[in-house]
Amino acid sequence: MNQILVTEKLYITPEIKRKKKVYKFEFLISLVIVCVLSSYYIYAEYNKNRDEAVSQDILSQANIVGEDQTTKPTDKLVVMLNNDVNTLGTDDDAMASLDEETKSVLSEEFITADGQVYKPIATIRIPKINIYYPILSETSEELLKKAPTKFWGCDPNEVGNFCIAGHNYRNKKFFSKVPTLENGDIIEITDTKGRTVKYTVYNKYTVTEEDMSPTSPLTNGRKDITLITCTDDSKERVIVKATEVL
């Protein structure tokens, strides 16, 4: 019996004790890493939900009901090509003819952290993916977190190429479902002059971040719109082209 006890003790060498300590240390480190990653994920989700809430505030007076709507944040498509403050006028008579929902959305104001005031220049509605948002007058990182924005081009519903950027949050918010659009799908743009124009999708493709060819103003006299968002991995840009339904 004594011989057996002695033999068992001999197996617990200093090397085994050292390895046990190493294993315990690695296990604790793993727990810490898991906790940190979990906290980061929860914080990121909180920020996304907060940004969505701000956007919904713009639409709140319209009492819009629908499925959850919105861009993976920090899409690098923010290339500041147009820094002009929106000068698009509002036709009061035309606005009066709009439904209360649209008038409420177009009359809202959005104030950024630096005190700048931005008003929607149009609304975008895409029935297939059940989204309805204001379009803000210019593109910036802060504005993109609140709503789709004018990225480049002509005024809404004018001849030319009206380019609209929106984040892809890889859920249902903003332009996350835009990559699922297909040829023939309808996009409706209502502007501050009271006009609602329907556009039909005719092309969809991806480009690199540096490729600005989709923003070309050459449309052969047509009214076109271009939707821009990120691929799910944020490495490229999804481009959806649509033209006025005549």
Alpha-carbon dihedral sign for residues 215, 223, 90, 189:
negative
Q: Is 37 helix (H, G, I), strand (E, B) or coil?
A: helix
Residue 113: pLDDT band with limits 50, 70, 90 = confident
Residue 108: pLDDT band with limits 50, 70, 90 = confident
User: For residue 195, what pLDDT is reported?
Assistant: 92
Tens-digit pLDDT profile for residues 167-186: 998 888 899 999 999 999 99
Domain ranges for the chain: 49-244
pTM of the full predicted structure?
0.63
User: For residue 77, what pLDDT is reported?
Assistant: 42
Into which CATH architecture does domain 49-244 fall? Beta Barrel (2.40)
CB-based contact 190:233 (threshold 8 Å): no
Angle of CA points 190, 61, 228, to nearest 5°: 40
First CA to last CA distance, the chain: 98
Alpha-carbon dihedral sign for residues 180, 185, 140, 171:
negative
User: For residue 11, what pLDDT is reported?
Assistant: 54
